[in-house]
Amino acid sequence: MAGKLFILSAPSGSGKSTLVSQLRSMVRDLDFSVSWTTRAPRGSEQEGREYHFTSRKDFERMIASDGFLEHADVFGNYYGTARKSLEEAAARGRDLLLDIDVQGAAQVRRNMPEAITIFILPPNPEVLALRLTNRSRAEGGVADAVVKKRLAMARQEIENYHEYSYVLVNDILERAVEELTAIVVAERGKGQPDATANPELQRSMVLAEQCRLENSRERLQPVLASFGLSM
Ligand code: 5GP
């Protein structure tokens, strides 16, 4: 595609939706791919805004007609990115942001290794459990078993962090937004002839560099350890 492709993955409860909406208010010309899903709408979600909600039958029809760039089964529901999203963004010369799980990200990476991949980590299991409990409460009921299951799923997703180019920890929202914005700005600025003459771009490049997987080991180590994972 003509524009850049950004892939964001994070376990459920990492505060990714807030991060995405704040990022989109900070940077121009970044299209968001509205995924297709077979899960039911939650809370104030609207058709065509958060997701395109569809039936399993129609989703399977789209799979059969090769309508998806990637698709996966997450928590027993289908989720997928329509090829059309990518084509439309390319036709408009826009960058595109995908919010997809680790399985989907692996599929896209195989076909489009130039995609810029970002993983968001929750700071520790306690904060994640609290966010998951609050979400369950907002959905109408807190079932301990559901929260426990989602925590276990989160841990499994986190195990894949090392497949991403950039890894952020969402402990302080403002900082995570700043880092995410810096990554987008820095990636867009790559190869710009006047990059060194632009101090703002330089600052973003330095910050983005610090968020690269290979440069964040010290910061990630305690977070991963809190989930029982080592680097
Ligand atoms: P939720 O139901 O909480 O909105 O999303 C559950 C998970 O599905 C999240 O990890 C989210 O990133 C992932 N997801 C959302 N859309 C897609 C998609 O189009 N493809 C894939 N593979 N995962 C998706």
Among protein residues, the one whose CA lies closest to atom 14 of ligand 1: 100
Q: Distance from the CA of 159 to the center of ligand 1, in angstroms?
A: 17
pLDDT of residue 193: 81
User: pLDDT tens for residues 17-65?
Assistant: 899 999 999 999 999 999 999 999 988 899 999 999 999 999 999 999 9
Ligand 1 pocket check: which of 21, 97, 99 to mutate, most ligand atoms within 8 Å of Cβ? 99
Q: Distance from the CA of 101 to the center of ligand 1, in angstroms?
A: 5
Residue 117 burial (10 A CB sphere; 0-12, 13-18, 19+): buried
Q: Do you know the residue count of the chain?
A: 231
Q: Alpha helix (H) ranges present in the chain?
A: 16-26, 56-64, 83-91, 102-111, 125-138, 144-158, 173-189, 199-210, 217-226
Q: Distance from the CA of 215 to the center of ligand 1, in angstroms?
A: 27
Q: Taking the alpha carbons of 26, 32, 35, 40 in that order, is the dihedral positive or negative? A: positive
Q: Which residues surround ligand 1 with Cβ inside 6 Å?
A: 12, 35, 39, 70, 72, 74, 79-81, 99-101, 103-104
Using the predicted structure, report yes or no on whether residue 1 has a pLDDT greater than 70: no
Q: Are strands 95-99 and 30-32 parallel, antiparallel or unpaired?
A: parallel
Mean pLDDT of the chain: 93
Among protein residues, the one whose CA lies closest to atom 24 of ligand 1: 100
DSSP string, 165-216: SEEEE-SSHHHHHHHHHHHHHHHHHTT-TTGGG-HHHHHHHHHHHHTBGGG-
β-bridge mates for residue 201, sequence order? none
pLDDT of residue 142: 66
Q: Distance from the CA of 60 to the center of ligand 1, in angstroms?
A: 17
- pLDDT category of residue 188 using cuts at 50, 70 and 90: very high
C-beta contacts of 144-148 below 8 A and 24+ residues apart: none
* CA-based nearest residue to 160, from 69, 86, 227: 227
Q: Distance from the CA of 216 to the center of ligand 1, in angstroms?
A: 25
Domains delineated in the chain: 5-34+93-226 (3.40.50.300)
Tell me the percentage of the chain whose pLDDT exceeds 70: 97
Instruction: Tell me the pTM.
Output: 0.95
